[in-house]
Amino acid sequence: MNSNFFQTSIEYLKGVGPNRADLLKKELGIFTFQDLANLFPNRYLDRTQFYKISQLERTNAEVQIIGKIIQIKTVSQKNRKRLIAKFEDDSGIMELVWFKGHKWIKENLKLNISYVIFGKTNWFNGTYSMPHPEMETLKNYEKSLRPAMQPVYPSTELLSSRGISNRVLYNLMENLYSESQNYIVETLPKNILETFKLLSKKEALRNIHFPQNQHLLSRAQYRLKFEEFFYIQLQLIRKNLLHKAKIKGYPFSEIGDNFNLFYKNYLPFKLTNAQKRVIKEIRFDLGSFAQMNRLLQGDVGSGKTIVALMSALIAIDNGFQACLMAPTEILSVQHYNGLVELCKYLNISIYILTGSTKTSDRKKIHEKLENGEINLLIGTHALLEDKVKFRNLGLAIIDEQHRFGVAQRSKLWHKNTLPPHILVMTATPIPRTLAMSIYGDLDISIIDELPPGRKEIKTVHRFDANRLRVFKFIRDEISKGRQVYIVYPLIQESEALDYKDLMDGFESISREFHKPTYQISIVHGKMKAKDKEFEMNRFLKGETQIMVATTVIEVGVNVPNASVMIIESAERFGLSQLHQLRGRVGRGADQSYCVLMTSHKLSENAKTRIKTMVKTSDGFEIAEVDLKLRGPGDLMGTQQSGVLNLRIADIVKDHDILNIARNAAIDILKSDPSLSLSENLPVKMTYIQLAKYKNIWNFIS
Ligand code: ADP
Ligand code: MG
């Protein structure tokens, strides 16, 4: 619809005028004809069917019935008056009820003539009743042109109180529709319409607002969802391709000594196929002239670290530096220790820089970085400080990316003439297409295989009342030489309360497991980094058997001998958090356990979360459930606006359409990258217009 017609101000539509125009702008953001055309109904009332009173079910659904009023009376109860009409058809009797507007209704209702009533029914005291039915005489009903599927448009209280009812919106839509016929332009190319059997734009708009039947309505919805996804994906993919063509990166053409030596002699285990595949993908990217921007997804324990190391070795072999950034001090230290150990026979220098690095050491590190003596720098946010200057940073690896914002990520860009290659690692798996839609500018690698020999973590749900048995279980496991995590929730809004929970918990654990038989560590967010690390280390070395903690241990910490994870108030954790926490155990050779403790009061949502955890340990499966429960809105903290701001499609429910539309967009860009073929003219025109508008629906419909 790239004609001026649809850009006409809504004020000029028949039936609108300046006052209504003002309301429509304020309440629904409708400024132009186009905005109105794109006001898609929330739902439809199905008036294709008639019910008999005897067929009614206690489902509270909307139904339509033909019958007669045989009696009207006013009933008073506790100062409240109701108007009740007995309504009869040839199968039974029900009641129509009004709580408001009695007088007017009473005067206008006629006994013993046929009415069509429509509304929701309630079942009460052995009869069905319909409060405030929509009704008209059968005679009028038969005369009216109302379609069988009635759209229900989004509305607001103000709109309805100012007389812009659903009926009015519907009439406006009719006016618009009858005037717009000649101006509707097809926005998808013919071959796509044919291949995917899509309705034309005209047909789709007609049937989204005035559906002739359920079937055409579904097809109209499908076409509009397809179109919405198609153009979002087209933009994302094009952006990615342009990025690759435009943003140059250092080509690491050489696979050198360190990499080869490590690969041949010092790999501590056989790589999984998934790890090999991902390393290949990264090697390919690093060897090309474009800057790599890759997201590496892999479940907790899938072995991302070794991939990070081998990528870093490629950079180092090509004469560049690499850095690995982690969200917490503890995790940085662990990475540092682990990588130093792995690289002990290689000739590379690895340093660590965090908030608690001493000033004197810090100065040395700054120097060595600038003169290139450091090959690999590991650390926290401290790496992003202005004073930290690399001589030639070639690869930046970011672990657990959801903790870093996009802005922070791009800070690393400004250290060089060319941007370093970027590898972002996350253990929060999200379905691939979804990830691609959200991080349109990133390529994606997935490790979808755990190293061999892992035992399934046994997960159980226990109520608080069973605490004593859980304590006994803990004691038994400790006596076998195992270590135990006990985790308490930490939710920002009620930090004080959470802290109290944690301390109460700690006390009762201390009473139950006393010295000298048992030693307990405690780690929480209010402690100084130094103290946290001290406690963490005691646990790591096995000096303590129990680690009481808030979720600070969530990310990445590796204590193979810890095989029991007790999660207190598990109902207060989100699914991905529970999954991350559980991933802290199951890292050694022993059978591991996860116990989810909850109260008896559980919301439906919480029940689903707990059940899911007990049932599966597949991160992608858990992510899907999580997505369904929470919706895509919360996803990943840093949201890329627009991508998830969909008008008609639902990124979760319409996942299949997303896949199809995405592939269609890829195909078209493959065969016609500049969209210059005449058959793709609709796409090109739409695409050009899209670039001008923020919200695609400002244009594409
Ligand atoms: P994550 O993906 O959670 O960062 P890590 O890289 O920490 O996982 O790996 C988890 C554990 O699995 C580590 O102890 C690591 O040494 C081990 N590991 C990784 N890859 C393999 C493999 N291919 N075979 C056996 N063990 C592996
Ligand atoms: Mg990790």
313/422 same-domain check: yes
Q: Is residue 169 part of a domain?
A: no
Interaxial angle between packed helices 681-692 and 214-246, expressed in degrees from 0 to 180 and rounded to the nearest 10: 70
**pTM for this model (two decimals):** 0.69
Q: What is the mean pLDDT of residues 604-615?
A: 95
- Ligand lying closest to the C-alpha of residue 304: 1
pLDDT greater than 90 at residue 588:
no
pLDDT greater than 80 at residue 557:
no
CA of 272 from ligand 2 middle (Å) equals 16
Quote the tokens at residue 400.
């657990």
Q: Which of 299, 306, 335, 337 to mutate to test the pocket of ligand 1 (most atoms within 8 A of CB)?
A: 306
CA of 581 from ligand 2 middle (Å) equals 13
CA of 310 from ligand 1 middle (Å) equals 13
**pLDDT attached to residue 639:** 40
- The band of 638, judged by pLDDT with boundaries at 50, 70 and 90, is very low
**pLDDT attached to residue 377:** 97
**What tens digit of pLDDT does each residue of 264-306 get?**
999 999 999 999 999 999 999 999 888 898 989 998 889 999 9
513/577 same-domain check: yes
pLDDT greater than 60 at residue 214:
yes
Q: Which of 278, 305, 332, 334 to mutate to test the pocket of ligand 1 (most atoms within 8 A of CB)?
A: 305
**pLDDT attached to residue 427:** 80
Q: Identify any residues that bridge with 560 across adjacent strands, giving them in sequence order.
A: none
Of 145, 166, 197, the last residue of a domain is: 145
Q: Which has more pLDDT, 26 or 645?
A: 26
Q: Which has more pLDDT, 314 or 246?
A: 314
**pLDDT attached to residue 351:** 98
- The band of 645, judged by pLDDT with boundaries at 50, 70 and 90, is low
pLDDT greater than 50 at residue 203:
yes
Total number of domains in the chain: 3
391/481 same-domain check: no
Q: Is residue 644 part of a domain?
A: no
**pLDDT attached to residue 659:** 87
Q: What is the mean pLDDT of residues 247-271?
A: 92
**pLDDT attached to residue 586:** 87
pLDDT greater than 50 at residue 442:
yes
* Torsion region of 60: left, alpha or beta (phi above 0 gives left; psi -120 to 50 gives alpha): left
Quote the tokens at residue 672.
């016609």
**pLDDT attached to residue 440:** 61
Q: Tell me how far apart the alpha carbons of residues 87 and 89 are, in angstroms, rounded to a whole number.
A: 7
Give the count of beta carbons closer than 10 Å to the beta carbon of residue 238. 18
**pLDDT attached to residue 265:** 95
Q: Which has more pLDDT, 557 or 203?
A: 203
Most confident of 338-342, 639-643, 669-673: 338-342
Name the percent of the chain lying above pLDDT 70.
90
User: Distances from the Cα of 50 to the Cαs of 132, 139, 198, 682, in angstroms?
Assistant: 18, 16, 31, 43
- The band of 700, judged by pLDDT with boundaries at 50, 70 and 90, is very low
pLDDT greater than 70 at residue 438:
no
- Ligand lying closest to the C-alpha of residue 447: 1
- The band of 66, judged by pLDDT with boundaries at 50, 70 and 90, is very high
Q: Tell me how far apart the alpha carbons of residues 108 and 519 are, in angstroms, rounded to a whole number.
A: 82
Give the count of beta carbons closer than 10 Å to the beta carbon of residue 631. 14
**pLDDT attached to residue 518:** 95
pLDDT greater than 50 at residue 663:
yes
Closest residue to atom 25 of ligand 1, CA basis? 451
Handedness of CA 263, 265, 269, 273 (dihedral sign): positive
351/482 same-domain check: no
Q: Which of 357-361, 621-625, 661-665 has the least mean pLDDT? A: 621-625
DSSP-derived 3-state class of residue 14: coil
CA of 271 from ligand 1 middle (Å) equals 9
416/475 same-domain check: no
Of 597, 616, 635, the last residue of a domain is: 616
Q: Which has more pLDDT, 271 or 389?
A: 271
Contact predicate 387/415, CB 8 Å:
no
pLDDT greater than 60 at residue 680:
yes
**pLDDT attached to residue 101:** 78
Q: Is residue 27 part of a domain?
A: no
Name the percent of the chain lying above pLDDT 90.
52
Closest residue to atom 23 of ligand 1, CA basis? 271
Q: What atom in ligand 1 is closest to the CA of residue 307?
A: 6
**pLDDT attached to residue 338:** 93
Q: Is residue 294 part of a domain?
A: no
pLDDT greater than 60 at residue 699:
no
User: Distances from the Cα of 432 to the Cαs of 143, 310, 398, 447, 607, in angstroms?
Assistant: 53, 24, 19, 12, 27
pLDDT greater than 70 at residue 91:
yes
Give which of 314, 343, 337 is closest to 423, Cα–Cα: 314
Give which of 328, 388, 322, 386 is closest to 356, Cα–Cα: 328
Q: Is residue 187 part of a domain?
A: no
- The band of 489, judged by pLDDT with boundaries at 50, 70 and 90, is confident
Q: What is the mean pLDDT of residues 536-540?
A: 88
pLDDT greater than 70 at residue 503:
yes
419/478 same-domain check: no
pLDDT greater than 50 at residue 505:
yes
483/395 same-domain check: no
- The type of residue at 117 is I
488/588 same-domain check: yes
Q: What is the mean pLDDT of residues 581-607?
A: 91
CA of 333 from ligand 2 middle (Å) equals 12
Q: Is residue 74 part of a domain?
A: yes
User: Distances from the Cα of 311 to the Cαs of 347, 382, 490, in angstroms?
Assistant: 16, 22, 35
CA of 395 from ligand 1 middle (Å) equals 21
- The band of 636, judged by pLDDT with boundaries at 50, 70 and 90, is very low
- The band of 1, judged by pLDDT with boundaries at 50, 70 and 90, is very low
474/543 same-domain check: yes
- The band of 237, judged by pLDDT with boundaries at 50, 70 and 90, is confident
Q: Which of 69-83, 104-118, 389-403, 684-698 has the least mean pLDDT? A: 684-698
Most confident of 259-273, 279-293, 379-393, 444-458: 259-273
Give me the phi and psi of 287, to 5 degrees please. -85, -15
User: Distances from the Cα of 270 to the Cαs of 266, 586, 682, in angstroms?
Assistant: 10, 19, 52
pLDDT greater than 90 at residue 590:
no
CA of 305 from ligand 2 middle (Å) equals 6
261/375 same-domain check: yes
**pLDDT attached to residue 640:** 42
Of 593, 616, 639, the last residue of a domain is: 616
DSSP-derived 3-state class of residue 222: helix
**What tens digit of pLDDT does each residue of 404-434 get?**
555 555 566 555 667 889 998 988 777 666 7
User: Distances from the Cα of 535 to the Cαs of 352, 547, 585, 591, in angstroms?
Assistant: 20, 9, 18, 25
Mean pLDDT of the chain: 87
Ligand 1, pocket residues at CB < 6 Å: 269-272, 275, 298, 300-306, 427, 451, 558, 587
Closest residue to atom 15 of ligand 1, CA basis? 303
Q: What is the mean pLDDT of residues 236-248?
A: 81
**pLDDT attached to residue 471:** 95
**pLDDT attached to residue 240:** 80
Helices (H), ranges, 559-654: 575-582, 604-615, 619-630
Q: Is residue 416 part of a domain?
A: yes
| CATH code at position 56 | 2.40.50.140
562/475 same-domain check: yes
Closest residue to atom 5 of ligand 1, CA basis? 303
Q: Which of 269, 295, 325, 334 to mutate to test the pocket of ligand 1 (most atoms within 8 A of CB)?
A: 269
- The band of 499, judged by pLDDT with boundaries at 50, 70 and 90, is confident
- CB-based burial, 483-512: b 16+ in 10 Å, e otherwise: bbbbbbbbeeeeeeebbebbeebbeebeeb
| CATH code at position 539 | 3.40.50.300
CA of 453 from ligand 2 middle (Å) equals 18
Helix, strand, coil percentages (3-state) for the chain, rounded to 5, are: 45, 20, 35
**pLDDT attached to residue 642:** 47
Domain range for 551 is: 458-616
409/471 same-domain check: no
Q: What is the mean pLDDT of residues 130-148?
A: 83
Q: Is residue 652 part of a domain?
A: no
Contact predicate 597/467, CB 8 Å:
yes
